[in-house]
């Protein structure tokens, strides 16, 4: 069984520790040493390689030793993925291949949540079938993608979904599933032996708040799925879409997480796309609301110190970090199109599920031009990913990131900067204005409250 994946990058590499579900960066010396050790039968490992790896990063060197990666007995558990093209052809502004793929397999869903960003309910015309889905797995594995996150819609409603997971297990992916948690009895019986490593369940508040958004009875059904996952040692996370309507029930969800042994609570500010735009736009946070939301998260961090709280624009976080995610780092910007991508039900490849790319029949042609990078029915994933011109909205920070972000002290410290998806929505709020991709950098993220922190400090200084 594959327990480690070592992937070459333009400079150095990455190491996926599958048992831990995390990815560790490798410097050039560490990558060369590991690659030579794994392939030691074809060429002996020279002592200076090991010394160079220790000099480069003693902590990483120790971790490699703890995991036994250079032992001959470990070689059968390690997959080495050298670059399929010369390193000079790999992107300068992104990783060599996605670390994670969010695979939206279908828009079919057994719910019609009011907060749904892609308005899932009925399948799209001409969604990919099983053979095409398995080919996405194949392409991802060939490129050295570490994690496949299967989602939708509700991917578990597909009758052949277990075959996709079986294929992913056989290949050695780290397998995560984003789900509404409303599973059939058959699916619940299958879960403990499914091979799923990480289950991400949606819960949008206490029983009343959640059921008003997701449907009557869904709260109890989600908790049942959660209990079965935890009892069978499946790693779990709760996703909660947050706005004014359920801000006061974040604590209740945090308590559910703690009581059930959930590892993390991911708080997603409402994104104004899909059904949420039609039904809950009035409940979106403004700048002051978002400031209060972040303060509430910090209060809950003190109340529940064992639970990891994750969100965006986390400027008050006690630890200076841009990401609470064990796979993507978000060092300079959001992971979308830089460290991860989405594959849609019809084969479209794009950076973010919340973008206009999620709507293939949309009349927002400019939005799709800006946000869709390609389609797997027409060309391979590797070619799409390595062409940075297709991903400019996510990779070209000088062109698409708001200028304030580039000089802000929080950028690359506690924040990955303005969101082009939110900027695109804001551009559409001016009646009669034609939206253009090049205008994205003119709009600061409406959730950003950095100015309020500056004002607060000024008041204290005064």
The pLDDT confidence band at residue 457, using thresholds 50, 70 and 90, is: low
Q: Is 350 exposed, middle or buried (0-12, 13-18, 19+ CB in 10 A)?
A: buried
Beta bridge partners of 372: 350
Tens of pLDDT, residues 397-444: 999 999 999 999 999 999 999 999 999 999 988 756 788 899 999 999
Q: Is 71 exposed, middle or buried (0-12, 13-18, 19+ CB in 10 A)?
A: exposed
pLDDT of residue 455: 63
Q: Is 349 helix (H, G, I), strand (E, B) or coil?
A: strand
Measure the CA–CA gap between 439 and 423, rounded to whole angstroms.
Answer: 9
- When the pLDDT of each residue in the chain is averaged and rounded to a whole number, the result is 94
Query: Which residues are CB-neighbours of 389 under 8 A, at least 6 positions away?
Result: none
In this predicted structure, the answer to whether residue 53 has a pLDDT above a threshold of 50 is: yes
| Locus of tokens 């698409």 | 400
Tens of pLDDT, residues 107-142: 999 999 999 999 999 999 999 999 999 999 999 999
> Buried b / exposed e across 32-54, counting CB within 10 Å, b at 16+?
bbbbbbbeeeeeebeeebbebbb
State if pTM tops 0.75: yes
pLDDT of residue 433: 72
Tens of pLDDT, residues 273-317: 999 999 999 999 999 999 999 999 999 999 999 999 999 999 998
Could you tell me if 304 and 250 are in contact, meaning their C-beta atoms sit under 8 angstroms apart?
Answer: no
Measure the CA–CA gap between 349 and 385, rounded to whole angstroms.
Answer: 9
Could you tell me if 96 and 7 are in contact, meaning their C-beta atoms sit under 8 angstroms apart?
Answer: yes
pLDDT of residue 76: 92
Measure the CA–CA gap between 368 and 386, rounded to whole angstroms.
Answer: 19
Measure the CA–CA gap between 71 and 75, rounded to whole angstroms.
Answer: 7
The pLDDT confidence band at residue 318, using thresholds 50, 70 and 90, is: confident
The pLDDT confidence band at residue 359, using thresholds 50, 70 and 90, is: very high
Pairing of strands 235-242, 198-202: parallel
Could you tell me if 38 and 80 are in contact, meaning their C-beta atoms sit under 8 angstroms apart?
Answer: yes
Measure the CA–CA gap between 275 and 271, rounded to whole angstroms.
Answer: 10
| DSSP-assigned letter for residue 400 | H
């Amino acid at each position: 069984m594959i327990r480690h994946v070592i992937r070459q990058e333009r400079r150095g590499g990455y190491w996926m520790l599958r048992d831990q579900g995390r990815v560790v960066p490798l410097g050039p010396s560490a990558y060369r040493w590991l690659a030579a050790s794994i392939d030691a039968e074809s060429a002996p490992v020279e002592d200076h390689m090991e010394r160079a790896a220790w000099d480069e990063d003693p902590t990483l060197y120790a971790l490699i030793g703890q995991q036994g990666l250079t032992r001959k007995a470990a070689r059968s558990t390690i997959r080495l993925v050298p670059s399929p093209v010369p390193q000079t052809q790999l992107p300068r502004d992104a990783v060599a291949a996605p670390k994670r793929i969010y695979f939206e397999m279908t828009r079919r869903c057994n719910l019609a949540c009011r907060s749904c960003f892609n308005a899932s309910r009925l399948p799209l015309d001409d969604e990919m079938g099983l053979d095409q889905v398995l080919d996405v797995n194949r392409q991802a594995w060939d490129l050295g993608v570490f994690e496949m996150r299967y989602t939708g819609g509700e991917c578990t409603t597909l009758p052949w979904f277990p075959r996709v997971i079986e294929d992913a297990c056989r290949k050695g992916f780290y397998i995560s599933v984003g789900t509404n948690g409303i599973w059939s009895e058959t699916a619940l019986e299958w879960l403990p032996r499914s091979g799923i490593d990480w289950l991400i369940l949606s819960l949008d508040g206490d029983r009343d708040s959640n059921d008003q958004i997701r449907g009557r009875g869904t709260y109890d059904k989600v908790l049942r799925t959660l209990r079965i996952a935890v009892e069978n040692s499946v790693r779990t996370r709760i996703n909660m879409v947050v706005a004014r309507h359920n801000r006061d029930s974040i604590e209740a969800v945090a308590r559910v997480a703690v009581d059930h042994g959930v590892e993390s609570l991911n708080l997603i500010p409402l994104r104004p796309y899909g059904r949420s735009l039609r039904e809950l736009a009035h409940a979106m946070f403004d700048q002051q609301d978002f400031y209060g939301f972040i303060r509430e998260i910090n209060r809950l961090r003190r109340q529940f110190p064992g639970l990891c709280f994750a969100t965006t624009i986390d400027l008050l976080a006690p630890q200076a970090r841009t990401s609470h995610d064990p796979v993507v780092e978000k060092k300079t910007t959001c992971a979308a199109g830089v460290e991860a991508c989405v594959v849609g039900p019809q084969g479209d490849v794009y950076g973010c599920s919340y973008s206009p790319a999620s709507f293939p029949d949309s009349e927002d042609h400019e939005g799709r031009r800006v946000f869709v990078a390609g389609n797997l029915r027409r060309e391979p994933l590797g070619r799409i990913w390595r062409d940075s011109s297709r991903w400019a909205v996510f990779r070209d920070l000088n062109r698409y990131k708001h200028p304030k972000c580039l000089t802000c002290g929080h950028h690359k410290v506690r924040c990955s900067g303005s969101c082009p998806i939110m900027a695109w929505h804001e551009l559409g709020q001016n009646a009669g204005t034609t939206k253009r991709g090049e205008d994205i950098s003119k709009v600061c993220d409406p959730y950003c409250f950095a100015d309020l922190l500056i004002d607060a400090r000024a008041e204290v200084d005064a």
